[in-house]
Homo-oligomer: A and B are copies of this chain.
């Protein structure tokens, strides 16, 4: 009976099982037994694809990261920096069920990474990528005169706002609807532009 499915496909199925269990019962319930049962396999089979639980978790986390990154990369090019930022941020916020699920497992992985060294490297990778993305967005906006020139501080602020909204959406999905999340982000982008104009005007006055 073996060899009926592609090994890579099996691994993907197992990752899906991990994510399902994590969402339904919490990260600590994602034991090798529970995951194997969820996937309809014996735990001996699971161990054939992943030698250890840590390996399974790392692969699952990596899969989630790759999925998010490829989704961002697949976005059609958008020359206008504001609209580009809006689309990127909309892709990162948990606005629909699929991304809500993704957000939950992302947060679970992140919290385990606080203690598990094997996951820490992946968490840092995701963190750095998001940080770089925020920095790129602010840089483009700033170049277009739509954000203050202090890119570093503004990128940190945007990044923290984004992650904070994601955490809040996971904690209270009833309060933080897709509308309120997008409104908060839109307001922030708007505020960045206003701030830039005001600072430019102040600079034009002061030294003159």
Contact = CB atoms under 8 A, between A and B. Distances in A.
Interface of A: 25-29, 104, 107-108, 110-111, 113-116, 123-124, 127, 150, 153-154, 156-157, 159-165, 167-168, 170-172, 176, 180, 183-184, 187-188, 191, 194-195, 197-199
Contacts of A116: 26
B183 A110 contact: no
Given A26-B115, A194-B199, A195-B191, A161 B157 contact: yes
How many identical chains are in the complex?
A: 2
A162 B150 CA distance: 20
15 contacts: A26-B114, A29-B115, A107-B111, A108-B111, A124-B172, A127-B172, A154-B187, A156-B168, A156-B184, A162-B164, A164-B164, A167-B167, A191-B191, A194-B199, A197-B198
Main secondary structure on chain A at its contact with chain B? helix
A159 B159 CA distance: 14
Contact of A164 (B25, B108, B160, B176): B160
A114 B111 CA distance: 11
A183 B114 contact: no
Nearest to A191: B195
A32 to B, nearest CB: 16
Nearest to A111: B111
Contacts of A111: 107-108, 111
Contact of A107 (B28, B114, B197): B114
Nearest to A156: B184
Given A156-B168, A157-B188, 6 more contacts: A26-B114, A108-B111, A113-B171, A157-B184, A160-B161, A194-B194
A157 to B, nearest CB: 5
A156 to B, nearest CB: 5
Contact of A161 (B29, B161, B183, B198): B161
A115 B160 contact: no
A199 B193 CA distance: 12
